[in-house]
Amino acid sequence: MPAPIETFRSYGALLQRLFPQLSHALIAGANGTVLWVSDPQAARSLDGTRSLLVRSGTDRPDDIDGLADTDAVAARFGFRVRATHGDPLAFVLVAVDHGTDRRLDLAAVHALLRPALDCMQNELSARTLLHDGDELARIPDEALSLLGGTLGVLVLPECNVSLSRGVRGAPGPADAELLV
């Protein structure tokens, strides 16, 4: 279930509040498609860093999941927002002109933006689970219609999920006992 554009506008505003020195910001979807930009020049300024971030990965779970890309004009930082199973949900990129008072490194920028990154991870993960839950709920119904049974059940113990559907509504007493 994709998040509405208002969601990304809100996160963009939060990024700007948490890190007032940023000159450009961009939020991209899991496939790298730009979803929100802080200004018309942001996409052009952050495109190379976005491309690097989408193509690269990290196999060090304890490290910050991102990268720093610096040149003579600006420092650009990109972070992956991942689901709990590791797949990217979004990419957050910011640029800071070198005219600011201090040089920033990846850890410092991550620390500033972490509240927004964590909130985004929670919201996008929840949206993904809701969407996946809708898809999973269809499985018992499909089983009933395709197999002609009286009870359709999906049990995913590692996710602590069980779904059941009976032909006439709720399972009867004998069918319900099977689920226990």
* Distance (Å) of CA 66 to CA 98, 105, 133, 141: 20, 11, 30, 42
Quick one: CA dihedral 68, 54, 19, 86, positive or negative? negative
Q: Quick check: 54 pLDDT over 80? A: yes
Per residue in 58-99, pLDDT tens? 655 556 899 999 888 899 999 999 887 788 899 999 999 877
Task: Please report the pLDDT score of residue 38 as a whole number.
Answer: 95
Q: What are the structural domains of the chain? A: 5-130 (3.30.450.30), 135-179 (no CATH)
Least confident of 22-26, 54-58, 74-78: 54-58
How much is the average pLDDT of 51-58?
Answer: 84
Q: Work out the average pLDDT over 32-55.
A: 94
Residue 7: pLDDT band by 50, 70, 90 thresholds? confident
CA angle at 43 for the pair 42 and 45, rounded to the nearest 5°: 65
Q: pLDDT tens digits, residue range 119-141?
A: 898 888 877 766 665 666 666 66
Tell me how far apart the alpha carbons of residues 19 and 96 are, in angstroms, rounded to a whole number. Answer: 10
